[in-house]
């Protein structure tokens, strides 16, 4: 009897210690930068090299993103995810000194937030870049821009899916460096890289990006590249972004949040310990 009593008290003490440890762990988890959970994080890379886009073309591209993000196709895709929200950032790239964040990370979960993104996009000024695009460098920048999921600093959001969408208007000159940056991005946690060739020489651009840039897969769909005319860019982006966001929502729905997974596993362990303690008491009696 004494042995059984000691075993029961010991088990109870261990359960209390484990529960306390669980509380401390969860407190640390929830205080971790107070990141907002979203279904997908999306970086939009936009080529602004002078050889690829003039100022009128640039305005068409920004209007295209504005129209796409406020389209019913994109908004419905956002709503289909488990959280019903995404985080988006737009980054410009040109030569090695022209890599800038046009739109910092912002959440889109409703029409008002989508319109806010659209307003910002339509009022952005085009950075000047007169040399060949340094795509490898901006892929590295974008990879870190995703935050902790890809080894960077926290960006205020967390998700199970990281998507890189490139709007390319010119062809880089160093395919080996670009391909290496692509491979490193995918290895770091970027799920998929898609591209659209716009402006002049779209077939040449598409061929380069298909070989050296696009990659990964999301919800069974491999990264891809295609072409479109600027006067129909809004419809194209609405369709392609909508599909990527929907794929991200599908993956997000099937992956439990880290906090939920930790809580469930610890709760299961506590339940198992209680059952073992109960069985020990019964045997001792």
- Per-residue pLDDT of 12-63, as tens digits, reads 545 544 444 444 344 444 444 589 999 999 999 999 988 778 888 999 999 9
Query: What are the tokens at 118?
Result: 């659209």
Residue 240 lies in a domain: yes
Residue 7 lies in a domain: no
Number of domains in the chain: 1
Tell me the pairing of strands 192-197 and 162-168: parallel
The secondary structure of 26-37, three-state, reads HHHHHCCCCCEE
- Per-residue pLDDT of 161-198, as tens digits, reads 999 999 999 998 899 999 999 999 999 999 999 999 99
Q: With 0-12 CB in 10 A as exposed, 13-18 as middle and 19+ as buried, what is 212?
A: buried
Spatial separation of the C-alpha atoms in residues 61 and 59, rounded to whole Å: 5
| Contact in structure between 167 and 61 (CB atoms under 8 Å) | yes
Range of the domain at 235: 36-258
Residue 279 lies in a domain: no
Give percent above pLDDT 90 in the chain: 61
Residue 116 lies in a domain: yes
Give the CATH number, domain containing residue 82.
3.40.50.410
What DSSP line would sit under 181-225, residue for residue? HHHHHHHHT--EEEEEE-SS-HHHHHHHHHHHT-EEEETTEE--E
pTM: 0.79
């Amino acid at each position: 009897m004494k042995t059984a009593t000691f075993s029961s008290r010991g088990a109870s003490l261990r359960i209390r210690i484990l529960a306390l440890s669980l509380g401390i762990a969860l407190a640390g988890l929830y205080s971790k930068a107070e990141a907002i959970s979203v279904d997908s994080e999306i970086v939009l890379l936009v080529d602004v090299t002078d050889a690829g886009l003039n100022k009128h073309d640039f305005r068409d591209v920004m209007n295209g993103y504005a129209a796409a993000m406020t389209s019913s196709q994109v908004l419905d895709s956002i709503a289909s995810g488990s959280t019903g929200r995404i985080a988006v950032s737009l980054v410009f790239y040109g030569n090695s000194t022209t890599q800038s964040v046009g739109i910092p990370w912002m959440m889109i979960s409703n029409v008002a937030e989508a319109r806010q993104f659209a307003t910002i996009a339509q009022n952005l000024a085009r950075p000047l870049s007169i040399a060949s695009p340094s795509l490898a460098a901006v892929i590295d920048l974008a990879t870190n821009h995703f935050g902790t999921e890809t080894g960077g600093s926290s960006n205020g959001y967390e998700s199970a899916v990281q998507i890189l969408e490139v709007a390319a208007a010119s062809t880089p000159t160093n395919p080996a460096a670009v391909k290496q940056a692509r491979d490193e991005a995918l290895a770091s946690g970027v799920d998929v890289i898609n591209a659209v060739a716009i402006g002049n020489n779209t077939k040449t651009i598409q061929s380069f990006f298909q070989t050296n840039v696009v990659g990964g897969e999301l919800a069974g769909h491999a990264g891809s590249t295609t072409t479109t005319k600027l006067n129909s860019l809004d419809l194209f982006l609405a369709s392609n972004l909508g599909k990527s966001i929907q794929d991200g929502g599908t993956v997000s729905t099937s992956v439990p949040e880290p906090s939920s997974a930790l809580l469930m596993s610890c709760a299961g362990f506590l339940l198992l310990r209680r059952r073992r303690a109960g069985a020990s008491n019964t045997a001792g009696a």
